[in-house]
Amino acid sequence: MTAPHVLIVEAPYYAEIAAGLLRGARRVLDEAGATHEVVRVAGAFELPGAVRLALKAMARAGGPRWDGFVALGCVVRGETDHYDHICREAARGIMDLTVQFGAPVAFGVLTVDDEAQAEARARDDEMNKGAEAARAVLVQIALARGWGV
């Protein structure tokens, strides 16, 4: 069986946080022998749309082929309800893609009250949520392959 090929879709609005999440995801994928590509979008709200575009590109004859997707980003609570809308829609959009298309998509988007919480979850340690998302997508890819999907 070939090594999984994963597309990481990164929203680097909080650049240092996103970089930490990306390092964690890359480390896990590299350790698993998976290959990966990275694309960047403006923010967390755009993550589901980018994964959908990738799925459409895969549907074209001769298009690229990915076995799974990792969505990475960070949303920090502010003074308005914008935070709630972005978090809800980013999560719902990723879940809709997963259910509708059966695509292995991992949600590595931090939804935090402040940047200190985000930094704690993007460090190069066992708490890194990018690494956790990469592990999750590898499990979903193995499940899909095991069922011949």
Q: Which residues are known to be catalytic?
A: 82
> In angstroms, rounded to a whole number, what is the distance separating the alpha carbons of residues 100 and 113?
31
> In angstroms, rounded to a whole number, what is the distance separating the alpha carbons of residues 103 and 144?
9
Alpha-helical regions (H) of the chain = 15-31, 47-59, 82-101, 115-122, 129-146
Structure tokens that stand for 55 in this block: 């799925």
Which residue in 67, 74, 69, 84 sits closest to 122, CA to CA?
74
Backbone phi and psi for residue 88, each to the nearest 5 degrees, phi listed first: -60, -45
The radius of gyration computed from the CA coordinates of the chain, to the nearest angstrom, equals 15
